[in-house]
Chains A and B, each alone.
Chain A
Amino acid sequence: MKLWIFNCQQVSRLVSKSMDRKLPLIQKMGIRFHLMMCRLCSNYRRQLIFMRRLLQISRQHEDTSKSDLHLPLNARERIQKELTSLK
């Protein structure tokens, strides 16, 4: 069986794509083959996975964490006014 040989540019694109879609087996094997021999792409892949995991954690804590961002005062007043007028 002939494995697909990918360069770093292709692998970076496919690694990203694999995070959004199931890749055909032959592509997965081609990626794995490249990653076995390429430290840089392995680092890149790990970094993409890190970012995904980080944002998942961030999302999990979103309901309970306190944010530094505040709804601006004029917006608060505007909204409060509209809600009062609608009741």
Chain B
Amino acid sequence: MGVKKPKTQHQLHDPATWVERYGDYLYTYALRRIFEASLAEEIVQETFVAALKARTRFEGRASEKTWLTGILKHKLIDQLRRQQRDTVLSSPETDNRPKDTLFDAGGKWRTKPRKWNADPQKLYEQKAFMETVFQCMAGIPKRMSQAFALRELEGATTAEICNVFNISTANCWVILHRARGLMRNCLEKNWFGNKK
């Protein structure tokens, strides 16, 4: 691989090798946040192109991978902003769909949350479980999963998420609440519920 570089000085590889080295990683990164394959491909393409153009400005303080990921995050946000608004983002006060899949009309739990006794570190190491998790994320309404991914994977604040999707903070909280509820139900149904 070459001579070990001092910690503060990273270098770029030949851009002709970028797709081979980082294509899958960047694609996965994008797809896990945008949940649409064609858009993920576009984001990866835009990232490499932007990186190529900016490579003389690479300062070597971060690794090449980190640098590319940083560029990808910007392209991801751009794509998220560009998406058309759909009914999922409409004001929760005015939409007529049932307010809650978690509760009945009397405010009681429809399906009682049972104990999972789940160790996140141990379950993370189970490939089948992580596949289930990402399938669940891919299965909920797209804008919800995108907001949820921004919050939980990127650590974006509510304000930042509102900004990206051009929605109110109240709307944002509702979307995250719904996303969490649907994710929870999905994991209960596809993993924890079957354990007994």
Contacts and interface: CB of A to CB of B under 8 A. Distances in A.
A54 B123 contact: yes
B173 interface: yes
Interface in A37-57: 40-41, 43-44, 46-48, 50-57
A20 to B, nearest CB: 5
A79 B31 contact: no
Interface string A14-53: 0011011100000000000000000011011011101111
Most interface-central of B18, B28, B151, B181 (chain A CB within 10 A):
B28
A49 B131 CA distance: 19
Contact of A58 (B16, B48, B130): B130
Contacts of B100: 9
B19 A76 contact: yes
Interface of A: 7-10, 12-13, 16-17, 19-21, 40-41, 43-44, 46-48, 50-59, 61-63, 67-72, 75-76, 78-80, 82-84, 86-87
Interface of B: 15-16, 18-19, 23-29, 31, 37, 41, 44-45, 48-49, 52-53, 65-66, 69, 100, 102-103, 107-109, 112-116, 118, 120-121, 123-124, 130-131, 133, 151-154, 158, 172-173, 176-177, 180-181, 183-184, 187
